[in-house]
């Protein structure tokens, strides 16, 4: 499988990365090179093979239903590029 520039643009849009025409062109070549490389997986017979869900065979631990965190709105917003009254501010979202 290979991708064209339009696909690369669509994928970049999904990933929210702006690309210039030159970049889209270059990335199309690079992506095709990588996709060409991974194509060899098609040789592998995976019939009846379970996909890996975890490399470690342990049961997932769980937390108790106790409030142990939060109550630090200032800390949470301390690194925010734009904030006000402990809210994060973003360009207006139109619903």
| CB 21 to other proteins: min, Å | 13
48-77: contacts with other proteins (CB under 8 A): 49-56, 58-73, 75-77
6 sits near other proteins (criterion: CB under 8 A): no
Per-residue b or e along 2-11, where b marks 16 or more CB atoms closer than 10 Å to that residue's CB: ebeeeebbee
Tokens, residue 18: 């702006």
17 sits near other proteins (criterion: CB under 8 A): yes
Tokens, residue 27: 């990335």
| CB 91 to other proteins: min, Å | 5
Q: Which residue has the tokens 């702006």?
A: 18
25 sits near other proteins (criterion: CB under 8 A): no
21 sits near other proteins (criterion: CB under 8 A): no
Q: Which is nearer to other proteins, 25 or 72 (CB)?
A: 72
81 sits near other proteins (criterion: CB under 8 A): yes
Tokens, residue 34: 């990588």
C-alpha span between 74 and 85 (Å, rounded): 9
């Amino acid at each position: 499988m290979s991708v064209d520039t339009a696909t690369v643009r669509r994928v970049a849009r999904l990933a929210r990365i702006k690309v210039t025409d030159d970049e889209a062109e270059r990335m199309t070549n690079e992506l095709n090179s990588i996709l060409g490389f991974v194509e060899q997986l098609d040789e592998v017979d995976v019939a009846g093979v379970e996909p890996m869900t975890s490399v470690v065979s342990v049961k997932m631990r769980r937390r108790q239903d106790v409030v142990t965190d939060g109550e630090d709105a200032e800390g949470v917003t301390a690194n925010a590029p734009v904030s006000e009254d402990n809210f994060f501010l973003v360009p207006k979202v139109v619903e």
